[in-house]
Chain A
Amino acid sequence: MSDMTTMNCNVDELIAVLMSREIEDFETVACGTISMLPASAILLAEATHAPNIDIIIRGSEAYGQDIGRDMHFIAQRGKMDMFFLSAVQFDSGGNFNLHVLGDPDSPDRRFPGGYGSGMLAYTAKKVMFFRSEHSTRVFVPKADFVSGALKTGNEVSRPNQTFFCFTPKAILRWDTARERWALRSYHPGESPETVQESTGFPLLIPADVVETPPPTEEELQTLRTTVKELMIESDTYANWATTAFLPA
């Protein structure tokens, strides 16, 4: 576990802040129906450096935009700048699993699956994966089921995309040319070695890999005040927002 004492924040706050930094002003950013961390990252970006973003939060009436099928077609025609996804497994080949653990015909565990991921992971310009556990059961050599693939070669037409994965230990980046997950930065209290130990396949580790700049006081304060209040007032995962953040 990264050194949360040094960073003065909890894991949810850390991941929300780091994801918010990737959002650029005027982008169209969206997340699904059970997406508390993405929702807080989006609202934090809007409250700080990206006041003009278009926001779609499917789990929120206030930010859901009531667009129904529009979301599908916005993405299909290449207008979705960013989408957020979690998964139960990520593998060395760039596949992720949202469906089952074990034999798909007789699974040990079932998960909700994901129509949206099978489409949005192929069409959003930036795909932000996140997972609040960084371990060898999450980052595996081969996923039990492929819900989405980052690597499709020239099998189908696909836009140029950027893929990140945010965890409590690091930010990973999918290296499209080398078709491998690479370490983009490791969080304070971690090292390339400790991140690699918790990852069930070899990561590309660039010689110039850096430590993740920790959340600033301003980012954390905004998250704990403006964003928290906004989530509660707009009934955007209000129950979650009530308890997720540390006291301001």
Chain B
Amino acid sequence: MGVPYVPVRGLAGTDILARRTDMLIAHNPFNADEKDVVARAINPDVAICHAIKADKSGNSIFRRGGDELLVSQASDKVIVTAEEIVGEVTAADPDGQFISSLNVTAVVHAPHGAHPAGVPGKYEMDRGHINEYIEAARSAEGFRAYLEKYVYDKTEADYQSLVGIPAQEVAVVA
């Protein structure tokens, strides 16, 4: 990643294309007879990705099939939050998708940091909490109330306590 744009077959004639400024139809530079949709690259300044485990250098293991590798390769700075900090993580690790420390700017130890999503082999998604959020997000007032309850002026420890994660497992920044 870090490429300027990506061609994609599809989307022509849609209101998605009509309403977005980051996609347009362009000639294939290698074939004047062909036109395709091209999408401008998204290059985030900072990406924050949650790992199953990481070492102190930033070598980390993520769930398989996710977009973390792509996001890490596209972003200027990458912060890895990790369930667990271990001695050394290598590309040979069988537990998931490896991301090299070459891509990583900083590592944060954050147990239960994926909540309300889950982490493979560690804990399941908290469907009750996600449903609570979906309900809250139906209205501006509901969404604000959710932020008041869980986010504004709350530490990670406050949040984890509110959602019922046992205190002894509360995150410590390494």
Identify the A interface with B (CB < 8 A): 66, 68, 75-76, 95, 99, 104, 118-123, 145-149, 151-152, 154-158
Contact = CB atoms under 8 A, between A and B. Distances in A.
Interface of B: 8-16, 18-19, 25, 28, 34-37, 64-65
A156 B14 contact: no
A113 to B, nearest CB: 8
Contacts of B64: 66
Contacts of B19: 104
Contacts of B11: 118-119, 122
Contacts of A155: 12-13, 25, 35
B14 A157 contact: no
Given A156-B35, A156-B37, A147 B14 contact: yes
Residue from B10, B19, B28 whose CB has the most chain A CB atoms within 10 Å:
B10
A119 B14 contact: no
A156 B25 contact: yes
Contacts of B8: 76, 119
A155 B36 CA distance: 8
A187 B8 CA distance: 38
Contact of A156 (B12, B15, B16, B18): B12
A124 to B, nearest CB: 10
Contacts of A75: 9
A118 B34 contact: no
A122 to B, nearest CB: 4
Nearest to B65: A68
Contacts of A119: 8-11
B9 A123 contact: yes
A104 B65 contact: no
B138 to A, nearest CB: 11
Contact of A149 (B9, B14, B65): B14
A157 B9 contact: yes
A56 to B, nearest CB: 14
Nearest to A157: B34
A118 B16 contact: yes
B173 to A, nearest CB: 32
Nearest 4 CB-CB pairs, A to B? Answer: A149-B13, A119-B10, A122-B10, A156-B12
